[in-house]
Amino acid sequence: MNTFTTNWAEFDLNDPKFVANPYPVMAQLRLAGAPIWHDKMQMWLAPRHADASAVLRAKTLGRIFNPREPADIWETFNWLHADSILDSEPPKHTRLRSLVAKAFNRGQIDRLAPRINELVAQLISDCQQKLNETGSFDVIADYAEPLPVMVIAELLGVPIAEQDQLRPWSQAIVKMYEYGNTQDQQAAARAASYEFAALVSEMVEFRKKQPTTDLVTELALVEEAGEKLTLRELIATCVLLLNAGHEASVNGFGNGFVAAMQHPDAVAILRSNPREIAATAVEEFLRFDSPLQLFERTATAETNIGGITVEVGQKIAALLGSANRDESVFRNATVMDLTRDPNPQIGFGGGIHFCLGAPLARLELAASLPALFEAFPKLELAGNPVMRPTFVLRGYESIAVTA
């Protein structure tokens, strides 16, 4: 019996007031003590840490991709999702994930540290130059964004001339993960899918003729062997890695940075001791204002989550940002504490879809965060940071700073 079938229709994910600060509403949602039914969205929402974690781990709750209609115009967008790691379930998910998992494990990723530090140093010097010339720079466009884009592009072997396209394409595609989008946004997502897939196809063809040691070559060889990977799966996997490989990292840095600048204790410690606290600060950045707020699952069998029953075919969403503010798990949950430890934040998800790029994201953030404050100990916000109007992928458009 679903005891908490409250009508929450008035709570709207697209309401600009909600997006500006969703946390008070989510604190109210947690008070229900169980997942709640959202009538307008026709899905359950799991705002508490235990329930959101259970949603991500339940074997009978899957990521089921619903192709968009009409199928002919959405064709590329549809297969880029249907054939990707993120939108598939076992056994396909196990097969696809195992093909790339090795490349993203901790040991492989740690080897990238020198290159990441080199890129960070280059970006710091670009920011310094901009500061000298204009008196300010943008933490998003000039610092947080270029690093993960360059790192994932290099890992997959995207030619430098094409790297500037990755963020705009990815931005266009991920607009479809929000609730309610315009015709123009849909057209842009279709065009971006097509262009993105075309670029990766070219890269694959090229690497088949001229193999190197990069991941695309490795996957292309698996595809040619013809047993474990189809061409579409190969392309969809590379596009996913390129997208997922930067989008949340940019927003994770920006969200945490703005929050830190608004917490005097956090700014003080970042100015005085950024390197020593980098590892715990990164976890707290992702906990305090999570860059990915909501992930849906669909029930393939009746599933009990926190006292409610998700019926077959019904959807339930894990609210990660809300779970990360759950007072029953995090003491002083509304306070940013960059030394918080332990910090069981679930910003990287959980269960079989747990973020494949977590070691890479952690490494990038732990390198770039202290470097910024070491280079600019007097860093200050210059004016109000500009937030994106979206809830699911939560982040800033720009963060002007001076130093």
Considering only 86, 153, 281, 316, the residue that binds ligand HEM (CB under 6 A) is 86
Q: Contact between 360 and ligand HEM (CB under 6 A)?
A: yes
Closest CA to 176 of 300, 302, 317, 80: 80
Q: How far apart are CA 259 and CA 309, in angstroms?
A: 36
* CB-based contact 319:347 (threshold 8 Å): no
Considering only 137, 288, 348, 391, the residue that binds ligand HEM (CB under 6 A) is 348
Read out DSSP for 255-314?
A: HHHHHHHT-HHHHHHHHH-TTTTHHHHHHHHHHHT-SB-EEEEEESS-EEETTEEEPTT-
Q: Contact between 347 and ligand HEM (CB under 6 A)?
A: yes
Considering only 74, 295, 330, 373, the residue that binds ligand HEM (CB under 6 A) is 295
Closest CA to 314 of 305, 327, 323: 305
Do strands 303-305 and 137-138 pair parallel, antiparallel, or not at all (unpaired)? unpaired
Q: Contact between 240 and ligand HEM (CB under 6 A)?
A: yes
Considering only 356, 369, 400, 401, the residue that binds ligand HEM (CB under 6 A) is 356
CB of 30 to ligand HEM, least distance (A): 19
Q: Which is nearer to ligand HEM, 8 or 295 (CB)?
A: 295
Q: How far apart are CA 345 and CA 334, in angstroms?
A: 13
CB of 365 to ligand HEM, least distance (A): 7
Report the b/e string of 15-45 with b at 16+ CB within 10 A.
eeebbeebbebbbebbebebbbbbeebebbb
Q: Contact between 248 and ligand HEM (CB under 6 A)?
A: yes
CB of 171 to ligand HEM, least distance (A): 15
CB of 356 to ligand HEM, least distance (A): 4
Considering only 22, 47, 252, 370, the residue that binds ligand HEM (CB under 6 A) is 252
Residues forming the site for ligand HEM (CB under 6 A): 56, 63, 85-86, 97, 104, 148, 152, 240-241, 244-245, 248-249, 252, 286, 291-292, 295, 347-349, 353, 355-357, 360-361
